[in-house]
Structure 1
Amino acid sequence: MELIGVVAAAAAAWVSGAIWYMLWSKPWAKDAGLALDEHGDPKGHGSAAPFVISAIAMLVVAGMMRHIFGMGEIETPIKGALSGLGIGLFFIAPWILINNTYAMRPLRLTLIDGGYAAIACTLMGVVLCLF
């Protein structure tokens, strides 16, 4: 059951990312410094590599969260949500902030990417505790 939970949690986070970045695609692309075409879409955006790599990364994160949750006896969806939110807000988002600050990127980029980390990890935590 744990493997199914990890895959389901990774899928929930991945889908939430698709929705999140559809909503924030224009400001994200601008703040990330991507070259845009005449429609405002990133040039050369036809590659499947980012989607495959992000799906694999979500599996890695969900697997590690499952391990941490098992060690910490985090078993209810509420505890999973709070723990996932904490991981997203207090581990991942600050790291994104550090990277973006050194790269001299706008704070809005950190808010977009850090917001996704918080939402995705919260969802992962809930889903992991449902299995």
Structure 2
Amino acid sequence: MVLTLDSINLWAVLLAALSSFMVGGIWYSPLLFQQTWMEGCGLTELDLKNSDPRLTFGVALLMSLLASLFMAFVLVGNTSLLSAGLYGFGVGTFFVSSALGISYIFEQRPLKLFLVNGGYHILQFTLISVVLGLMS
């Protein structure tokens, strides 16, 4: 089977990416894990203020679009919402978080940082897949 852009719902990809992007904004905000994340990364409020938000958020949105597009291709022909959610959970857990875990153990990064970042990516890919599953 050859997969083309015709085989996916681009509106679903866009909505999935925007959903993922917005959840990331909440996840890494002061409401949830900003302080833990900053401590784990060694960042300060000044570091955040000195960063270019257009570049940071622009690249984050682009990466969310690419992740959503990839998941749309993975889920082609898989219309069950439960199945889509499980695929996303699996990608977030067994691909992304495990890859982060390997890097973090060698880099001697804090466990809390792994839990914050890994947890976000599990949620991110699950959400992307559920949105795609709902709109297929």
Alignment RMSD, CA only? Answer: 1.6
Quick one: which of 10, 22, 29 aligns to 2:38?
29
Distance 1:43 1:100, change over 3 A: farther
Matches within 5 A, 1:83-98: 83-98=87-102
CA distance in 2, matches of 1:67, 1:25: 32
CA distance in 1, matches of 2:83, 2:111: 30
CA distance in 1, matches of 2:104, 2:86: 26
The answer to whether residue 119 in structure 2 is matched with residue 115 in structure 1 is yes
Sequence identity (%): 30
CA distance in 1, matches of 2:102, 2:45: 25
Residues 29, 42 of structure 1: 8 Å contact kept? no
TM-score (norm 1): 0.89
Correspondence for 1:101 = 105
Say which is worse superposed, 82-91 or 94-103, in terms of deviation: 94-103
Shift of 1:92: 0.3
Matches within 5 A, 1:35-54: 35-37=44-46, 42-54=48-60
Structure 2 residues not aligned, in runs of 5+: 1-7
TM-score (norm 2): 0.85
Q: State the one-letter code of the partner of 1:77.
A: L
The aligned length equals 126
Q: Which runs of 4+ in 1 moved over 4 A?
A: none
CA distance in 1, matches of 2:26, 2:41: 18
What SS is found at the alignment partner of 1:48?
helix
Structure 1 residues not aligned, in runs of 5+: none
Residues 5, 128 of structure 1: 8 Å contact kept? yes
